Amino acid sequence: MSRRRASRPSHYSRSARLGELLREILASELARLDDDRLELASITGVDTTAELSRAVVYISGLDDEAIRGALEALEEHRIWLKQAVARSASTRRVPELIFAPDPSIPTGERIDRILRDLNQQ
């Protein structure tokens, strides 16, 4: 006899679902933190490893200095954020949180610059 899944079928991987859940939890916790360095920072995405042991949290901000300050603040608040994830997510283990600047913004700017250069030629 086959077992049927009681929940809805998943359309994307478990690691992607956990990444989205972590993004939501961390974004709400970011708003609760009373740290000036985090005022203009936002969480743009979270990539988790296949075994769900590590999660890279991507941060964006207005400029490089704001991003550096936000990354420093997040490193200082890492334990508190991990505890918040443990309280909110129903997972066996909370992944190690790694904070990094979002690479998509400089990449987009580079592509935009290339397209402008091509348009001028």
User: Which pLDDT value is given to residue 103?
Assistant: 87
> Which segments within 33-116 are labelled E, that is strand?
42-48, 54-60, 96-101
- Quickly state the pLDDT bin for 22 (edges 50, 70, 90): very high
Place of tokens 């809805």: 8
* CATH label, 14-120, candidates 3.30.300.20, 3.10.20.30, 2.30.110.10, 2.30.30.40: 3.30.300.20
Instruction: State both tokens at 77.
Output: 């608040």
b/e per residue, 41-60, with b = 16+ CB within 10 A? bebbebebeeebeebbbbbb
- Quickly state the pLDDT bin for 68 (edges 50, 70, 90): very high
Q: What is the pLDDT of residues 46-57, one digit of tens each?
A: 999 888 889 999
The least confident of 4-8, 11-15, 51-55 is: 4-8
